Structure 1
Amino acid sequence: MHAQALDDIRVIDLSQVMAGPYCSMLLADMGAEVIKVEPPQGESTRSWPPYKEGESGAFMAINRNKKGINVNLKTKEGQQIFYDLIKTADVVVENFRPGVVKRLGVDYDTLSAINPKLVYCSISGFGQYGPYSSRGGYDLIAQGMTGIMSVTGEPGGDPVKCGLPINDLGTALFASYGILTALYSRTKTNEGQFIDASLFDTGLALSVWESAQYWYTGATPQPTGSGHRLSAPYQAFRASDGHFTVGADAPHHWKMFCEIIGRPEMLEDERFKDNESRMDHMEVFVQMIEEQTTTQPRSYWLEKFEEVGIPAGSINTYPESLNDPHTQARDMVCEVDHPVAGKVKALGIPVKMSKTPGSIRKSAPLAGEDTNSILSELGYDEEKIESLRKNEIV
């Protein structure tokens, strides 16, 4: 076993569903001890399909490498258990609607008074301040309000949601980046801090090309289908048996591309003389290319482009992608043993580190799986733990 970068960090995960749990899982993958604190009935995602042996695949997908404890934070005794846990913690992650943690007595001001070194990360739909801060936030709503849905889909079509929950997952990434930054800052100040991450801010932060287009041209960004907003050809094209993608927007690639598809005359055509011209004549540009690419299967074109170094690839289904030999070589699919579901598939660690690599050490916890061991560590004896169970505190 290699050393892991975060193996001396304890994270208390109060979050549910997607953004918060994914954030804490990223930390767990890098060695952090993550303790997932759920209400007595468990978090809602445990009931989401698909299932294996009655266990939620959705829950297992984003809660691996965590310990689990169920605590009723609406009771004084439950709060005290949580406060005892906070004394041992480095990080808290929560994604309640603003105001809820204050009512539960687990807000930053309360917990930082107990542990001044605590890094406290709040994830919400719209952040902790601003005119929309009290609203509930979902990935779909954030995609719509930040402009993402206005530029997704085919030109002239209806607004389309990104196929992945990009605001949820993106916020998880930004939140983990904020947490690691705060932990590094703590090594110099010996103080924790509060982190405010939101799905709304994430959607805007990811809109780098769209905001640039609007600010520097005054034009409202529109959907571009599979195409790039600023360069071409950088998109999907039809072959005789499906679609493939190609990025031949660099001048030397553009010349080779035209020669390979049998359209050298496009190099002399004023409509396509440079990138800006190609973008201005996109409809006829794509039509002329696909008149050629539809005469051969995807494999033919991909082989030709690979020979000269033009970036290209097939558009895979998920079965094709997950079973791709490169996916296997990169260890991006693995198996984890779950005490109820048995062997389950999991996505691998996406960041490869030479000296402190991440690892998948255990499956997602069963509800309350580690309650006894965690309470024992905090100094609760067996009689007290039994009493807490009897009174439905844990």
Structure 2
Amino acid sequence: MNTNHSSSALSHLRIIDLTRVRAGPTCCRIFADFGADVIRVEATAGADPNSTVLGSRLAADSQNLHRNKRSITLNLKSPRGLKALMDLVKTADIVVENFRPDVKERLGFSYDELAKVNPRIILASISGFGQTGPYAKRAGFDQIAQGMGGLMSVTGELDGGPMRAGIAVADSSAGNYAAIGILVALAERERSGQGQWVQTSLLQAMIAMTDFQAASYLVEGRVPRSAGNDHPYSTPMGVLATSDGHINIGVGGEGQWAGFCRAIERPDLQSHPHFSVQELRFKHRTELMGELAAVFRLRTSEQWIEILTVENVPAGSINDMEQVFKDPQVEHLAIAAPLQHTELGPIRLVATPLTLSRTSPSVRSQAPAMGEHTNAILREIGIAETEISSMRKAQEI
């Protein structure tokens, strides 16, 4: 269970967050929730035309992505702004960025340049399509990666055309993979004393997330297609209408099939010549789902879930977000983390979905105002007050 205590698991780490939109901030949020000092470096006011892509800074998305962080504004195109960044890098463990691959070289903070000032630094780069290759300089967004990575070809109704997933799965998974890469680099640094460059992309992450569908092609040469709410291999596994809504069911093997037939009081289906084994059930899926449709309309969703649970057959409700967060198991898991916001009042954010026995993650502070900690952070790295004032007048911070 997540609690509101202040996690100290990664309080010894400083992360420079140069990221925007979703994939990079997702990566950095993981470290922030475990207590790392995450410094969000933002462009000075008006310098980034895409700064509002997530909407208002007070909007739910921004608050959720940037909690537990500090904010500094720097003009990285100015010599003093770049120097301030490099001075920060000297004190840091990790830099995370998701610019197009050529931007960091052009502005002067490539991995080689960072390593010159801090050989232990770990740079994590998240791009649309990779740091090199024919698409390296293309702009990449989540839905583009969903399409190019194969997800949209296996999502949607049977023969109904491509369909995007309802969540930013490429962005989120790329951020999570980047965090895994950083943790591996940190563990290796304990032995070597050296940092390294961690790279991932939305396209790579999306392909990896397709998992068994990608493996079907690579190993067997089979090109999978969309199957609606039915599982591509197992039957019955999918959505069934009840007397008051819909539920998901999942029957994964012959033992569960036997329990399922007992639960729905249709023992005849277990030995039916079209349904007795998985291979036959899959071949005659349309016929089987027709039989089940008539049965499941006789009871409510809650009744069916209770009946199937007795026989250890996986079944679950299909919830909207309000229903999700009113579910007793979700409430028990405390994944809606409470926070007192200075402007919004009491709010709840989505907690990091991990529990550790001693150092679980926590949501401690609201997303910072733009540049809220600029002066304090610059003082921490030894920049004098007169220099800070001069930089502010010159719009370098």
Taking structure 2 as the reference length, the TM-score comes to 0.95
Q: Deviation of residue 344 (structure 1)?
A: 2.2
Q: Show the 5 A alignment for 1:147-296.
A: 147-296=150-299
Match of 1:5 in 2: 9
CA contact (8 A) 1:248 1:254 kept: yes
Question: Which structure's relative contact order is higher, taking Cα pairs within 8 Å and 6+ residues apart?
Answer: 2
Match of 2:305 in 1: 302
What is the identity, as a one-letter code, of the residue corresponding to 1:160?
M
1:337 aligns with 2:336: no
Gap change, CA 1:48 and 1:199, over 3 Å in 2:
closer
> Over residues 183-223 of structure 1, what are the superposed CA-to-partner deviations in whole Å (9 max), with x where a residue is unaligned?
00000000000011101111111122112322444332011
Q: Deviation of residue 5 (structure 1)?
A: 2.1
Q: Deviation of residue 50 (structure 1)?
A: 6.5
RMSD of aligned residue pairs (Cα, Å): 1.7
What is the identity, as a one-letter code, of the residue corresponding to 2:298?
T
CA contact (8 A) 1:152 1:161 kept: yes
Comparing 137-146 with 269-278, greater Cα deviation is found at 269-278
What is the identity, as a one-letter code, of the residue corresponding to 1:22?
T
1:70 aligns with 2:73: yes
Match of 2:45 in 1: 41
What is the identity, as a one-letter code, of the residue corresponding to 2:90?
K
Q: Deviation of residue 41 (structure 1)?
A: 2.1
Match of 2:138 in 1: 135
1:22 corresponds to which of 19, 26, 37: 26
CA contact (8 A) 1:3 1:355 kept: no
Q: Deviation of residue 339 (structure 1)?
A: 2.8
Q: Deviation of residue 143 (structure 1)?
A: 0.6
Gaps of 5+ in 1: none
**Sequence identity, in percent?**
37
What is the identity, as a one-letter code, of the residue corresponding to 1:29?
D
> Over residues 346-381 of structure 1, what are the superposed CA-to-partner deviations in whole Å (9 max), with x where a residue is unaligned?
012310000221111111111001001101111122
> Over residues 237-265 of structure 1, what are the superposed CA-to-partner deviations in whole Å (9 max), with x where a residue is unaligned?
11111110112222221112122223322
> Over residues 246-301 of structure 1, what are the superposed CA-to-partner deviations in whole Å (9 max), with x where a residue is unaligned?
12222221112122223322212222222122222221121111111012111111
Comparing 313-322 with 204-213, greater Cα deviation is found at 204-213
The number of equivalent residue pairs is 392
What is the identity, as a one-letter code, of the residue corresponding to 1:19?
A
Gaps of 5+ in 2: none
Match of 1:80 in 2: 83
Q: Deviation of residue 119 (structure 1)?
A: 0.3
Q: Deviation of residue 3 (structure 1)?
A: 5.8
Which segments of structure 1 move beyond 3 Å, counting only runs of 4 or more?
Answer: 42-51, 215-218
What is the identity, as a one-letter code, of the residue corresponding to 2:227?
T
SS at match of 1:278: helix
Comparing 194-203 with 324-333, greater Cα deviation is found at 324-333
What is the identity, as a one-letter code, of the residue corresponding to 1:111?
L
